[in-house]
Amino acid sequence: MQTARVVIIGSGPAAYTAAIYAARAKLAPVLFAGQKAGGQLMWTTEIENFPGFPEGIKGPDLMMNMMAQAQKFGTEIKYDYVTAVDFSQKPFKIWTTIPKGQVADTLLTTASQAEYAKVREEIIATEPTVTADAVIIATGASSIMLGAKGEMEFLGRGVSTCAVCDAAFYKDKVTYVVGGGDSAMEDTLALTKFAKEITVIHRRDSFKASKIMQERVLNHPKVKVMWNTAVKAVKGDKFVTSIVVNENGAEKELPTDGLFVAVGHRPVTTLFKDQIQLDDHGYVVTRQSASKLGVEAASKVMDEKNHVMFPTMTSVEGIFAAGDGVDVRFKQAITAAGQGCAAAIDAERWLESLA
């Protein structure tokens, strides 16, 4: 069994940035990246809004650069999934055991809480893989996809889950947005600055977004709405050329340059339930969470200057969190990286406070 000062769970911008800072602080971090290292940016072809790359950079290239930088300063990267944790006492215990017949990625992202809890009992019956004095959670979130045929094949090639990131690539193009919540409305409005035409596809006959967001979308001259409609397939060659939809029971094929899926995100936090505080949607609560729970947590830990102590700390001392698994609002690579930096600095200073 390995021991570590700091363990980082995740492999996106938050995780790698935390690793860079923790390694430079001589904390010898161990980072568990999983077998699909790099997070959601591995599906992004071009990134133009990450500072320092005026010509843009491909998502996988950015993540490989971050990983190499973390390794340069001494981060030990393991391509194993963390499948269970025990944060009830120090040092914290972490397992990477995968029981026979289980697929780690499925267990951590799509299994129900009850299904996971049953498997967890089998995992924690084995010896932990590593113990840690501090842990930084940066497991991120996964976009909820439609399940349409061809959707994953064209992800990053006409199918996008972030209009704020990709809208500029669709200047004077025909686009579709799927969803009915605030995220879909935000994506639609982002596209109106660039796209020639935007059609919102929603499976019901009314949006669930806030009234003000609905009004902005419904009153915009570039926007149309297809009610009671579902996307069944995505077609194309190198890039998307059309989508197949079912509108009120009738199937039709519609030419398009881009499809934006905006039906929500699911934080990858199943293994942390009952270990740290999560909100009703599964997001990790820290002292800087943009929510009532975050404000309540922060208000309890003010120092003599009325500053929040260790803002990235979770409900368990020594456990910190950053990135899309915490962020209920922005979900950008640069904000995730910033939170990863903060989490590493908090972890370093907290460890120093124990000396």
What is the rounded distance in angstroms from the CA atom of residue 143 to the CA atom of residue 162? 9
Dump the DSSP string for 128-187.
PSEEEEEEEE---EEEPP---BTTTTTBTTTEES-HHHHGGGGTT-EEEEE-SSHHHHHH
Phi-psi region of 212 (alpha: psi -120 to 50; beta: other; left: phi over 0): alpha
Catalytic residue among 61, 86, 105, 166: 166
CA 6 remoteness from chain centre: 21
Judge residue 256's burial from the number of C-beta atoms within 10 Å of its C-beta, 0-12 exposed, 13-18 middle, 19 or more buried. buried
The encoded tokens of residue 322 equal 């950053």
165 catalytic residue (yes or no): yes
Catalytic residue among 80, 86, 105, 165: 165
The encoded tokens of residue 192 equal 């109106």
The encoded tokens of residue 60 equal 């996988």
Judge residue 125's burial from the number of C-beta atoms within 10 Å of its C-beta, 0-12 exposed, 13-18 middle, 19 or more buried. exposed
Closest CA to 135 of 33, 30, 39, 63: 30
341 catalytic residue (yes or no): no
Closest CA to 128 of 154, 96, 150: 96
Catalytic residue among 61, 86, 133, 162: 162
What is the rounded distance in angstroms from the CA atom of residue 34 to the CA atom of residue 32? 6
166 catalytic residue (yes or no): yes
Closest CA to 92 of 132, 122, 60, 55: 132
Q: Are 40 and 160 in contact (CB under 8 A)?
A: no
Give the catalytic positions in this structure.
162, 165-166
